Amino acid sequence: MSLANGRQYLAIPGPSVVPDAVLQAMHRPSPNIYEGALPDMVAGMIPDLAAVARTKGQVAIYICNGHGTWEAALANTVAPGETVLVPATGRFGHGWADMAEGLGIETQILDFGRAAPIDPDAVRAALAADTGQKIKAVLAVHVDTSSSVRSDIAALRAVLDDLGHPALLMADCIASLACDRFEMDAWGVDVVITGSQKGLMVPPGLGFVFFSNKAAEARRAMPRVSRYWDWGPRADPEMFYQYFNGTAPTHHLYGLRVALDMIHEEGIEAVWARHEALAGAIWAACDVWSDGGPLTLNIADPAFRSHAVTSLRLGAPLGAALRRWTEEQTGVTLGIGLGMSEPDDPKGTGFFRFGHMGHVNAPMILGLLGVVEAGLDALDIPHGKGGVSAAARQLASVVRDASPKTVKVA
């Protein structure tokens, strides 16, 4: 007998679940890439993309994954030999810093460990010490996908403004865009990067770099920008071919059109609220399970937990055993721990993650929690009883609070 037969559920923090409507839109013959429907569709998509990032700024689209956008953001704004400040949480800030070093950029790294957000006061101290204003940009990850911590990006803008420091503020929103509230313009962010395969619900392959006027000026002041990464022609093309510096990612674009329609139909505020409610249900279940067992939420303070991904620790070898159980027995794949090595567990197999970004709803999350609870039982892992009920109660209370008058019980 297998309980896994049926629809497989990839519950890892990217790639995320792709909606059927997106898949269907991609299933079509190749379109003409020189004129006709495709160029018109892409031009129409730009403002919709900008609306998701909450910006009136420009956007360049690349055929790449998230790593490509790390490089694209830097290639346009920071020259070799110049310096960036990287307040790093978890794994991904270090990855961005590494990308910068590969471009010959000097990095100054502040490491906040793997269970805490960026501390704006530490960033303030580092910037205040930069009396020669050598720091050209601050590279901050909004949601670190390994630790599942969410940092306060607006607080970093406040620090830069207080000090009158001219550095660009860049945010990696690869995990958070269209999941956790993010406001590029209101929060004063100069460069925002993201990819197609997380909150945007499209397969991996598209990278997006949004940039402000100030960042565009920094681009113009660069001595040289590699042709392929140059965001100038991509954001302001004279002909369609320049959007992508070559052949367009045809089928991804059709998928993206549908995904953006879905987001705008729901409304970005409602998308954020859905992610918040579902994350709250996950935390409610985890709080119950962790009472009386080894399970812990990696981020203790809910105020700094992402609504898109949750990192958990069971300890080795239980984390890996649980993942194997849910995948083999139920068809639900959980995320591996990333960058979470411990002295007695160098590969960090005691950690695992839930991805809850994009195309996820209440039955999916309750199903995810249900199989995890079954796995904890099946593997005799001690845990508090009633996690799934707690999640259901949490969802019920959120719905009740949001629409108190819609349900009348006689």
Ligand X SMILES: *Cc1c(COP(=O)(O)O)cnc(C)c1O
Residues at the site binding ligand X, with contacts judged by CB under 6 A: 14, 65-67, 92, 141, 145, 172, 174-175, 195, 204
Of 88 and 318, the one with the shorter C-beta distance to ligand X is 88
Of 66 and 319, the one with the shorter C-beta distance to ligand X is 66
Q: How far is the CB of 44 from ligand X (least distance, A)?
A: 25
Spatial separation of the C-alpha atoms in residues 380 and 168, rounded to whole Å? 51
Q: How far is the CB of 118 from ligand X (least distance, A)?
A: 13
Spatial separation of the C-alpha atoms in residues 164 and 142, rounded to whole Å? 22
Spatial separation of the C-alpha atoms in residues 118 and 33, rounded to whole Å? 43
Of 335 and 387, the one with the shorter C-beta distance to ligand X is 335
Of 94 and 383, the one with the shorter C-beta distance to ligand X is 94
332-336 sheet: strands from edge to edge = 9-11, 332-336, 351-355, 309-313, 296-297
Q: How far is the CB of 58 from ligand X (least distance, A)?
A: 21
Q: How far is the CB of 231 from ligand X (least distance, A)?
A: 18
Q: How far is the CB of 154 from ligand X (least distance, A)?
A: 18
DSSP reduced 3-state for 135: strand
Spatial separation of the C-alpha atoms in residues 46 and 185, rounded to whole Å? 16
Output the six-digit token pair for 148: 């599942």
Of 137 and 175, the one with the shorter C-beta distance to ligand X is 175
Distances (CA, A) of 216 to 57, 78, 180, 405: 9, 12, 26, 49
Spatial separation of the C-alpha atoms in residues 124 and 139, rounded to whole Å? 14
Neighbours of 110 (CB within 10 A): 17
Q: How far is the CB of 311 from ligand X (least distance, A)?
A: 12
CA-based end-to-end distance of the chain: 44
Q: In the beta sheet, which residues pair with residue 184?
A: none
Of 76 and 176, the one with the shorter C-beta distance to ligand X is 176
Of 67 and 214, the one with the shorter C-beta distance to ligand X is 67
Of 168 and 371, the one with the shorter C-beta distance to ligand X is 168
Contact criterion met (CB below 8 Å) for 352 and 317:
no
Q: How far is the CB of 194 from ligand X (least distance, A)?
A: 9
Helices 66-75 and 92-102: crossing angle in degrees, nearest 10, is: 50
* DSSP conformation class of 20: H
Q: How far is the CB of 303 from ligand X (least distance, A)?
A: 19
Q: Which residues contact 110 (CB under 8 A, 6 or more apart)?
A: 85, 86, 87, 88, 118, 119, 122, 123, 126
Point out the residue whose Cβ comes nearest to ligand X: 66
Of 174 and 392, the one with the shorter C-beta distance to ligand X is 174
* DSSP conformation class of 240: G
Q: How far is the CB of 149 from ligand X (least distance, A)?
A: 11
Output the six-digit token pair for 177: 């865009």
Question: Which residue from 60, 75, 223 is spatially nearest to 137, judged by alpha carbons?
Answer: 75
